[in-house]
Amino acid sequence: MKNIILTGDRPTGKLHLGHYVGSLKQRVELQNKGDFDEMYVMIADAQALTDNADNPEKIRENIIEVALDYLSVGLDPNKITLFIQSAVPELTEFTFYYMNLVTLSRLERNPTVKSEIKQRGYETSLPMGFLTYPVSQTSDITAFKANIVPVGDDQLPMLEQAREIVRSFNNIYGEVLVEPKAMLSDNEVCKRLPGTDGKAKMSKSIGNCIYLSDSEEVVKQKVMNMYTDPTHLKVEDPGHTENNPVFIYLEALCTDNHFVKYLPEYKNLEELKAHYEKGGLGDMKVKRFLNDVLNDVLNPIRQRRKEYEGKIEEVYKILENGSKKARKKASETLKEAKEAMKINYFEDEALINSHIKKYQK
């Protein structure tokens, strides 16, 4: 079987550290390893409109932001296909057919969608498109016959839903679609990076993010204001590293080399944690170290972003060419699916001939 990778992000804001550790980093590693046949990365504008229908300007402005973030983390349009969801209308057609293979109650049970409905206050005014976005996500994945989907763990229910629809489609119409698998980070804390406020998930829609494009000054300010351990009042108090986003970010990003460079009195994160837990280590010192680590990670990203900011036309061209390529692939799969569903009337000579025979007397 071919290895086909597909992932994407909603253009609801700039990309943040959660995206980086949860998915972008693996995408770049996969891309550079070259151990795949096709790789697609999608800017999910149609999905973003499901909860931003009244704010198209926001989506429009953020397409370029997400594209710049992609290119600045090292995604390479010469190796992979970057595209915009709405520029591949075949995806919408797939969604219409997949809707018949899923029940309303099944959609209402999706735990990620459930918590997002609550977060958006949609309990009494839920847009249908929002409830069905996992179906549209199934289209995005299956139209490319993707088998590998690098994501954060909030996407596991979406992948489960996609597999159910694929099984159901293949059972009824024949083996056309491929069952996808999520690819999660090996590092537990990267699967769902918390926000700077200590809340469960760093998320564009909550506004508790450190963005990949934040300047050194902004990052410093955000780090210094980060939530830590509320029981760690004085330096000598014993502290908690669990549920402490400062330590979680270090867990996600720092290496022993960062200690050699910025904090040589400790060998590694284990030693730093032990000192904090025992007492005698102040939050400011840990935050200053985190700030150094973040700048180490973000500086090359900032630099590449600056280069691409100087060639916006080229970035749009990359998206346009990628979208054409993606559309070609999606329409091939759609053709196969429609054949299997027996809705390819004009291409089915046998059907036409059988009807000629039926009425020829």
Q: State the minimum distance, in angstroms, from the CB of residue 303 to ligand ATP.
A: 23
Q: State the minimum distance, in angstroms, from the CB of residue 196 to ligand ATP.
A: 11
Whether the Cβ atoms of residue 44 and residue 273 lie closer than 8 Å to each other: no
Applying CB under 6 A, does 151 fall inside the site for ligand ATP? yes
Applying CB under 6 A, does 140 fall inside the site for ligand ATP? no
What is the identity of the amino acid at 287?
A: K
- Cα maximum dimension of the chain: 99
Whether the Cβ atoms of residue 266 and residue 240 lie closer than 8 Å to each other: no
In this structure, what is the dihedral angle of CA atoms 283, 260, 221, 243, given to the nearest 10 degrees? -50
Q: How many residues bind ligand ATP (CB under 6 A)?
A: 18
CA-based end-to-end distance of the chain: 49
Q: Site map for ligand ATP, 223-252, x if CB under 6 A?
A: ------------------------------
- d(C-alpha 333, C-alpha 339), whole Å: 10
Nearest CB to ligand ATP, comparing residues 154 and 229 = 154
Alpha-carbon distances of 67 from 10, 71, 190, rounded to whole Å = 11, 6, 22
Q: How many residues does the chain have?
A: 361
Nearest to 228 by CA among 241, 218, 216, 238: 241
Q: Which of 5, 6, 12, 88 binds ligand ATP (CB under 6 A)?
A: 12
Nearest CB to ligand ATP, comparing residues 116 and 237 = 116
Sheet with 181-183, side-by-side order of all strands: 81-84, 38-43, 4-9, 148-150, 181-183
Q: Which of 40, 70, 73, 152 binds ligand ATP (CB under 6 A)?
A: 152
Supply φ then ψ for residue 250, to 5 degrees.
-65, -45
Near ligand ATP by CB under 6 A, which window of 18-26, 93-101, 214-222, 284-292? 18-26
Q: State the minimum distance, in angstroms, from the CB of residue 140 to ligand ATP.
A: 12
Q: State the minimum distance, in angstroms, from the CB of residue 76 to ligand ATP.
A: 19
Shortest-Cβ-distance residue relative to ligand ATP: 22
Q: Site map for ligand ATP, 285-324, x if CB under 6 A?
A: ----------------------------------------
Q: Using CB under 6 A, which residues numbered 186 to 205 contact ligand ATP?
A: 192-193, 201-205
Nearest CB to ligand ATP, comparing residues 94 and 133 = 133
Tokens representing 234 are 């004085």
Sites of contact with ligand ATP (CB under 6 A): 9-10, 12, 18-19, 22-23, 151-152, 154-155, 192-193, 201-205
